[in-house]
Structure formats: structure tokens, C-alpha cells
Amino acid sequence: MKNVKIAVRLCSLSRSGAVSLIILFFGIAGSSFKSLGESNPQNLKPRDSLLTDKSGFKSLFSSSYFDPSKPYVTQLNPKAVPFVQKYIREEGEHLEKMKVWGKPYFDMYDGIFSQYGLPKELKYLSVIESSLVPNVMSGAGAVGPWQIMTEAGRNMGLRIDSKVDERTDVYKSTHAAAKILKELHTQFHDWMLVIAAYNCGDGRLRQAIKQSGSRNFWDLQYYLPEETRNHVKRFIGTHYIFEGSGGLTTMTASEVLNFNSTVVSTGLNQNKPNDPEHGSIEVAGKYKSTIIAKNIGMDLSAFNKLNPNFDRIIAQGKAYNMTLPLEKLVIFGNNKNTILEQCVQSLLNF
């Protein structure tokens, strides 16, 4: 990643001084992360005290589950709070500015990720990979806003030759990144591991899993390169700055399952033990599929595929067991009354 920061600063970009300042800041801040619990020696052994004392990073959260309706920082493991607070203090101001000038990028990312059924929060990988700079190249040969290697880009259908490099095409490279992320999630079923694998490679991550005997990022992190450890933590910090909270992509797979088991009281349920990505909630009333899909940021065709004949059954006055991706289910559960009001209002205005 250091080479990426250097390349970003050396690229002749047609951006404003504010953008240059943001990019430069990432280069400066990158070195500060070495002090955030990463002073682990290179020859760390499995019995090292940093591996046996997991009080700091055994779980991102202090309780057994994450409640999106409560403040994010108040739920963090106490040892993780200093990192997030330090990150906000050092990079928050500049990333707040990126919210404004980067909105066209983020809107495009949202639309593309929704087509692949991916959490939209994964767009923040582009922030920590390249600061949204399309033509940046790393010393290792990764190119574009998503820092895609040549072989990976070609495998995902991008044209990369002496005349054209579609990794610098924001639209096409985002489709390629979405395919890579989806493929990694099929392998690891854990978004924190996906983010780690995106940085260090799936083979290196599988090696860390084997060496540590764990599939929990906080347990296996010291078997990964320091750059990868910081990569995941920077994603968490960036997620917080942009969203004001954590989410399913900042939880380990086990934490997602723990979260699912605690939300039954709100009416949300996981569909099946072998389907950790979807859940359901029984709804009745004047709901409309178009308004639900719009409010939860979901493509209408994807909604209808999961919920066939939704409008017809609801119009008959019957209850419907609505199925959604877990992150969309949480959004609906937190906003269902507002969504219902909009649905009723649309009927009155018809």
C-alpha cells in the first residue's frame, strides 16, 4: 500500500488541491497505523503473548452481537475504541470532504454492487485502495480505483494490453471488483476475511487460517502481513466515518450469526441455518414493493425475485413472509413504520 500512496502523489491528476491533500494525507496516515497495536515482531510465534491474549481483538464488539440501532463506538470492544477514535481524529475531516466530491463515484458503486447482491458499504474499499483515483498504479502493478492486478482483471473480463487498460475505467473496473468480492465471499463467508483476502490474496489468507486454526479475523490477524491487518482496520474506520456506524461488513461471520439470533424480538428472522445471508420478516398492511425497494436501496427486480407475488398477496389483505438480504432486512426493520407511511401516502395520492 505504501507504493500506492507514492504513486498517487506522483500521478498528474486534474483534481483540486483539496483532493491532493486527501491523497497526501493517506500516505502520511498510513505510517501512523504501525503504532495501533501492530508493533508485533516479524518472527512472531504461535505461543507469543499477543496471540494468547485476545482481549483486544477477539471480537470487534464488546457484547455478543451488534445492534445497528445503537451508537457504533459504544459497542466496540474497549481495546478497539482507541484505534477507531484515532482514525477519526486523523482522517475524519478529509474523508468528510470526500463524501461531497466523491458522491458520483459512490452512487455508481451503489448501483453496481446492488446488481451483484453485495453490501454497498464495500465501496469504501476504493477509498482505502486508491482515494478514488482512477489512474493510480502501485509498485506491485495493481491499477485503478480498485487496485486490480493484471491477471485478476483479465479473469474478470477487463481488457488490459499496451493500448487499453480498463482497470482505469471506473465503471468497468467496479464491475470487476464486484465479481472478485463476490467470489471471495463464496470462499470465506465472512466480510472481514473478504477485505483481508482482497489485500493479501485468497491463498495467503487460507494459509493464515490453517496456521492459526481459526476463521476469525481477530484470532488469525497476526499470521497475516501487517499491511493486511491495517487494511481491514482502516476499512472499519472509513466505514464509521462515512456511515456513522458499523454494519454487517464490519462483523465477523460468527458475529453476524449472533446478531441474527438476537433480532427475533423485533420480528426479524434468519431464513435457514445454511443461508446466513438472508432473513425474513412477516409484514401486513398497505406495503408496496416499489417503495420498500427504494427505501432499503435494493433493485426492484432483485426484491421481486426474493418475494414473488408480493404486491398481489399484500393487496388481498394477507400477511407476507418477506425475504431480504440481512443488511437490507436490518434497514427495513429500523424504518418499517416510515416505509409503511410512505406506502399509504402513495395510495392516497394515486
* Average pLDDT estimate for 217-228: 89
Higher-confidence position of 308 and 38: 308
Nearest to 39 by CA among 56, 26, 25: 56
* Average pLDDT estimate for 273-286: 73
- Any domain includes 313: yes
- Any domain includes 262: no
- End-of-domain residue from the set 236, 257, 278: 257
Range from 33-42, 110-119, 205-214, 259-268 that averages highest in pLDDT: 205-214
The number of angstroms, rounded, from the C-alpha of 254 to the middle of its chain's C-alpha atoms is 16
* pLDDT for 55 beyond 80: no
Say which residue the cell 431464513 belongs to. 271
Choose the weakest-confidence range: 105-109, 224-228, 233-237: 233-237
* Average pLDDT estimate for 161-169: 94
- Any domain includes 226: yes
* Average pLDDT estimate for 101-114: 92
- End-of-domain residue from the set 257, 286, 313: 257
CB count, 10 Å around CB of 295? 17
* pLDDT for 311 beyond 50: yes
**Claim to verify: residue 243 and residue 286 sit in the same structural domain:** no
Higher-confidence position of 70 and 175: 175
- Any domain includes 283: yes
* Average pLDDT estimate for 267-286: 64
Kindly give the interhelix angle for 191-200 and 202-212, rounded to the nearest 10 degrees: 120
* pLDDT for 58 beyond 50: no
**Percent of the chain clearing pLDDT 90 (strictly above):** 33
Beta strands at 269-272 and 275-283: parallel, antiparallel or unpaired: antiparallel
**Claim to verify: residue 201 and residue 280 sit in the same structural domain:** no
Q: Which cell numbers in the block locate residue 186?
A: 463464496
**Claim to verify: residue 67 and residue 152 sit in the same structural domain:** yes
* pLDDT for 33 beyond 90: no
pLDDT attached to residue 333:
78
Higher-confidence position of 192 and 4: 192
pLDDT attached to residue 140:
86
**Claim to verify: residue 113 and residue 36 sit in the same structural domain:** yes
- Any domain includes 12: yes
**Where are the extended beta strands (E) located within 203-284?**
269-272, 275-283
- End-of-domain residue from the set 257, 275, 307: 257
pLDDT attached to residue 171:
94
**Claim to verify: residue 196 and residue 306 sit in the same structural domain:** no
**Claim to verify: residue 278 and residue 342 sit in the same structural domain:** yes
Range from 64-78, 116-130, 248-262, 325-339 that averages highest in pLDDT: 116-130
Higher-confidence position of 302 and 265: 302
- Any domain includes 315: yes
**Claim to verify: residue 251 and residue 128 sit in the same structural domain:** yes
Full residue range of the structural domain in which residue 342 is found: 267-348
* Average pLDDT estimate for 317-345: 84
**Claim to verify: residue 214 and residue 108 sit in the same structural domain:** yes
| Domain count within the chain | 2
The number of angstroms, rounded, from the C-alpha of 189 to the middle of its chain's C-alpha atoms is 13
**Claim to verify: residue 35 and residue 183 sit in the same structural domain:** yes
CATH number at residue 239: 1.10.530.10
pLDDT attached to residue 250:
52
**Claim to verify: residue 314 and residue 211 sit in the same structural domain:** no
**Claim to verify: residue 190 and residue 272 sit in the same structural domain:** no
Confidence band of 105 (pLDDT split at 50, 70, 90): very high
Choose the weakest-confidence range: 31-35, 202-206, 341-345: 31-35
pLDDT attached to residue 72:
55
**Claim to verify: residue 49 and residue 115 sit in the same structural domain:** yes
Model confidence, pTM: 0.54
Nearest to 330 by CA among 272, 256, 273, 274: 256
**DSSP of 236-262:** HHHHHHHHSS--GGGS-HHHHHHHHHH
**Percent of the chain clearing pLDDT 70 (strictly above):** 66
